[in-house]
Amino acid sequence: MQGLRIDGGRGAARDGGMPYRRQVFEWDDRDAWDRLRGINPLAQVPTLALDDGTIVTESAAIVLWIAGRHPHLLPDGESERALDRLSALDVYVAMISRWRPGRAWLSAHCPKAMASVLVTERHPVVASAWTRNFD
């Protein structure tokens, strides 16, 4: 892979044993934005650039792409406890709950979604990722 620019995807790539290269740049670094536009003309972050030239953007799409190629990353199904039956989208929703408009807004306007986020965040793998990336 040419580059993977996502914390959640980075964890999925690592857990799947996939090689990746993470590139970090400052928001005001024009040269870095120009390099990103060379891979992804829309300059979207995150961007996953595959060896065949395919570009995948959006965190959820990247996590789903990785999970589709590494099904061992997904829960086993019916034999698992409910807490272990998380989808990539559960993790994605929990992750974006930390973005604007924020968790207080989500709690006030979407209490069922926030309740789901809190269940997702109790999963040991998610809790570990959150400790590394958000705490």
Residue 69 to residue 2: CA distance in whole angstroms: 17
Is there a single domain that holds both residue 38 and residue 62?
A: yes
Angle at 51 between CA 66 and CA 29, to 5 degrees: 90
- Mark whether 11 and 33 lie in a shared domain: yes
End-to-end Cα spacing for the chain: 29
Give the residue among 2, 119, 117 at the shortest CA–CA distance from 56.
2
Residues 6+ apart with CB under 8 A from 115: none
Residues 102 and 86 in one domain: yes
Residues 84 and 129 in one domain: yes
Indicate whether 41 and 83 sit together in one domain: no
58/9 same-domain check: yes
Helices 124-133 and 7-15: crossing angle in degrees, nearest 10, is: 130
Give, for all 135 residues of the chain, the pLDDT tens digit: 333 333 446 666 666 677 777 777 788 889 988 988 888 888 888 888 888 888 888 777 787 788 777 766 655 543 344 445 677 788 888 888 988 899 999 999 988 888 888 988 988 888 888 888 876
Q: Which domain holds residue 19?
A: 3-71
Task: Among 47, 71, 95, identify where a domain stops.
Answer: 71
